[in-house]
Amino acid sequence: MRYRLETPEPFRPETMQEKIDSTHGLHPSDRYLKPGRIPHIWCPGCGLGIALSAFVKSLDAAAVPIDRCTVVSGIGCTGRAAGYLDLDTYHTTHGRAIPFATGLKLARPELEVVVFSGDGDLFAIGGNHLIHGARRNMDLTVICVNNFNYGMTGGQAGPTTHRSARTTTTPYGNCEYPFNLAHLAYASGAVYVARWTTFHARYLIESLKRCFSKRGFKFVEVIAPCPTGYGRPNKLGSGLDQMKFYRDNSIISHHVPPTDEAMGLKGPLIIGEFVDREKPTFGERYREEVLSRFEDPD
């Protein structure tokens, strides 16, 4: 059978408000979402809706102007978030969200630039960019939704997959050591590092508010259920079962060094606000140490 793609409706600014009024207004967060893009593609029980909702609530709570906030995402289920947000957003190539965001921040330093992506995108193909973004202390907020596998492409093992976990590429169990993302971000130079689960949405909102009040490379890990790609082969139950697991197995430990706070498949989960420190950003140092010499060579 052959399918014919429908010709998209041409964009007409004069009808946009009408469209927003007819599709928005049912929920307080609707104004952050693109009209006509919901329902989303995420599976029932997926944690991504909670992560996205916490993000838009944090924008509201921190009164970040919509026209000053830009979201950059990479590839994968998490990367789809950029397509649902009614902000300036970029759905970039695999692993390249941080370089796109870096260029954007350098060109438009007044913008609040947020990277919203997943563990595979940010720490596998994009791992190099992440550590160098943190090393430079680029003024970015990086939200990494960690569901421990490549969900969109069929549940393959990735850089955070737990030891012994079953995935489509590790049917007898994963023999690799996973990254501890909080530790890696901290060791690379991030000025703010926190880890929450999707059960801890209110803490997550507070963490993101803190990010919007702070300059430098801020990293927030959000542990989220992927019942389809990871929950099923590992017998973790439904998305709701995993939320109960987060509730019962999380230990909030603020300001502990994230060095040893790795997680096992069956817990415990050490979560909290681990790092909050001050350091000049790349932009500040560049202006003070490079541009000032260029303007005044003597």
Question: Site residues (CB under 6 A) for ligand SF4?
Answer: 42-43, 46, 48, 77, 147, 151-152, 226-229
Nearest approach, Cβ of 246 to ligand SF4 (angstroms)?
A: 15
Q: Between 186 and 230, name the residue whose CB sits nearer to ligand SF4.
A: 230
Half-sphere exposure of 159 (CA within 13 A, CB side): 18
Q: Between 74 and 151, name the residue whose CB sits nearer to ligand SF4.
A: 151
Nearest approach, Cβ of 78 to ligand SF4 (angstroms)?
A: 7
Structural contact between residues 243 and 199, judged by C-beta atoms closer than 8 angstroms? yes
Distance of alpha carbon 279 from alpha carbon 53, whole angstroms: 30
Bridge partners (DSSP) of residue 70 are 88, 113
Distance of alpha carbon 90 from alpha carbon 65, whole angstroms: 18
Nearest approach, Cβ of 175 to ligand SF4 (angstroms)?
A: 23
Phi-psi category of residue 178: left, alpha or beta, with phi > 0 → left and psi -120 to 50 → alpha: beta
Q: Between 72 and 77, name the residue whose CB sits nearer to ligand SF4.
A: 77
Mark out the alpha helices in 155-280 (DSSP H runs).
Answer: 181-188, 201-212, 239-249
Q: Between 69 and 115, name the residue whose CB sits nearer to ligand SF4.
A: 115
Q: Between 148 and 186, name the residue whose CB sits nearer to ligand SF4.
A: 148
Residues 6+ apart with CB under 8 A from 78: 48, 51, 116, 117, 118, 121, 145
Using alpha carbons only, give the angle 127, 243, 81 rounded to the nearest 5 degrees.
Answer: 45
Residues 6+ apart with CB under 8 A from 79: 73, 91, 97, 116, 117, 118, 121
Nearest approach, Cβ of 119 to ligand SF4 (angstroms)?
A: 10
Nearest approach, Cβ of 153 to ligand SF4 (angstroms)?
A: 9
Nearest approach, Cβ of 91 to ligand SF4 (angstroms)?
A: 15
CA quadruple 103, 71, 80, 13: dihedral positive or negative?
negative
Q: Between 79 and 178, name the residue whose CB sits nearer to ligand SF4.
A: 79
Nearest approach, Cβ of 95 to ligand SF4 (angstroms)?
A: 17
Q: Between 150 and 192, name the residue whose CB sits nearer to ligand SF4.
A: 150
